[in-house]
Amino acid sequence: MPPLPARLRIMDAPAPALSFVDQYGASRDDLPGSALPWLSALRETAIADFAADGLPTPRAEAWKYTSLRPLEKLAFEPVVNETISIDKLPTLLPHGQGGHRLVFVNGTFRADLSLLGDFPDGVEVNSLADLLTHDPETLEAHLGRFGVGEGQPMLALNTALMRDGLVLHIGAGVMVPMPIEVIYIGATPDTPRAFHPRNLIVLEPGSRATVIEHHAGLGTGGYLANSVSEVLVEAGAALHHYKVQADDIDAFHIATSHVRLEKDAVYDSFTLSTGARLSRQEISVRMVGAGAECHLNGAYMLRGAQHCDITTAIEHEAPNTSSREVFKGVIDDTARAVFQGRIVVHPKAQKSDGHQLSRALLLSDRAEIDAKPELEIYADDVKCSHGATAGDLDHAALFYLRSRGIPEATARHLLIEAFLTDTIHKIAAEGLCPA
């Protein structure tokens, strides 16, 4: 793997630093939509839940292998209204390909950096803060409705402190031909900052879209990005949702996604994780309509002392639903990966088809992975399987390449690339997967 860049120093915030609960109390009246009764009630319930639970610890089963104790040692300040100059934006779209770009810096929408072309009729793209100010009625039916559940303190914290994020609504039967790229940049020039982006994506029946997320840092210090995405894919619609997490090496990246699939809906997801000191991607998918289809795939590359947690839950709640889940990772140095994958087939979900696989390459004797695949099946006419493997590079293949005159470093690189390539090629959207 490439050498680890020089470690960036996390600056201590000046004392006294506000706790997250205190931050909410201090900023309650300044949060977007603070005058809306329904949103205020949602925030109050959320902060009460977070205050009762606190930051998750390994004592909670869902967080058994990941500790957020490092967050307690850092004094994250809330984001302030500051203008940050950005010379060059990262992008995932192939060179020369059209598309649409929305840019958020420290969780706040930056219109001056964004580029939105002409969308088909029926497509609405907005920032959450703008809608809460000018058209909150369009949000009440969906915001906070899918991302619910007990024992999710980071989701509750996001709900209480959310300020901005992507709101995408696609009308019935509308096809969006060009990808929509959303770039999230963390930039903390002084003290470590915490921001809580909230995204809402709704696809009405028969629509289709591709959303690409790119998370990156400016390399100026540590920050906490605690994001939540709520996704509704209605009957016959299809969403391709791809994400690259390449945050600053001193960052903390916590992402929670709640997805609801109705009849014959398709959700195709791919996540690549390479950045952040500690990252966690938690994805919960409910297939409530017959014939719904879910693909959760991803890859991660870890080095140094990085920690990456991938936790998924796929609920087959209707008959004839299908899911495919494959995550592969390469772990070096003293890095640690966690994969917790859970598939639940409910009693009414006859003829469900669910498969799950986790594979990891350990390039160091000190690298570690904790894998916990789970199946819960309450129906009798199903096809389900799961598996998890971990090991070193194939020494026979490495010897073969070296015997053909290929240097060891190059041979190892080729084997690692081959290991990850088939996962990357599971990206279904045309033109986004490299040849």
Residue 206 is assigned to a structural domain of this protein:
yes
Task: Using the structure block, give the residue that is written with the tokens 């949103």.
Answer: 39
- Tell me how crowded residue 407 is: count the other CB atoms within 10 A of its CB: 10
Of 369, 275, 278, whose CA–CA distance to 55 is shortest?
278
116 and 232 part of one domain: yes
DSSP E strand stretches across 247-306: 252-261, 266-273, 278-287, 293-302
User: How far is it, in rounded angstroms, from Cα 214 to Cα 360?
Assistant: 24
- Residues 42, 189, single domain; the answer is yes
Return the amino acid letter for 34.
S
The count of other CB atoms within 10 Å of the CB of residue 402 is 14
The parent domain of residue 107 ranges over: 20-289
pLDDT at 64: 94
355 lies in some domain: no
pLDDT number for residue 432:
60
Residues 6 or more apart in contact with residue 305 via CB below 8 angstroms: 277, 333, 334, 335
Cα(73)–Cα(428) distance, integer angstroms: 41
Strands (E), 157-306: 166-170, 180-186, 193-195, 198-203, 208-217, 223-233, 238-246, 252-261, 266-273, 278-287, 293-302
Cβ pair 184, 213 in contact under 8 A:
yes
- Given a cut of 50, the residues of the chain with pLDDT beneath it are 1-17, 435
* Domain termination site, one of 266, 289, 312: 289
In a domain, 310, yes or no: no
Report if residue 179 sits inside a domain: yes
Count of the separate structural domains present in the chain: 2
Residues 66 and 185 in one domain: yes
Q: Cβ(248)–Cβ(276) under 8 Å?
A: yes
Tokens of 236: 């016959």
Report the C-alpha gap between 307 and 311 in whole angstroms: 13
Q: Among 240, 260, 289, identify where a domain stops.
A: 289
* Whole-angstrom distance, CA of residue 67 vs CA of residue 64: 8
Whether residue 429 is contained in a domain is answered as yes
φ, ψ (nearest 5 deg) of residue 208: -155, 135
Neighbours of 57 (CB within 10 A): 14
Distance from chain centroid for Cα 103: 16
Q: Is 378 part of any domain?
A: no
Helix segments in 246-336, DSSP class H: none
pLDDT for 422 equals 77
Peptide bond into 78 cis (omega under 30): no
User: Are 285 and 400 found together in one domain?
Assistant: no
CA distance 222 to 331: 22
Are 201 and 78 in the same domain?
Answer: yes
Q: Tell me whether the omega of the peptide bond preceding residue 14 falls within 30 degrees of 0, making it cis.
A: no
Structure tokens at 15: 């004392």
Residue ending a domain, among 289, 321, 350, is: 289
Assigned domain for 347 exists: no
Q: At what angle do helices 20-27 and 153-161 cross, to 10 degrees?
A: 20
Joined together, the tokens standing for residue 225 give 């990005």
Residue 118 covered by a domain: yes
Tell me which residue of 87, 104, 248, 77 sits closest to 166, measured CA to CA: 104
Q: What is the pTM of this model?
A: 0.91
CA 107 to chain centre: 14
Looking at the structure, do residues 56 and 187 belong to the same domain, yes or no?
yes
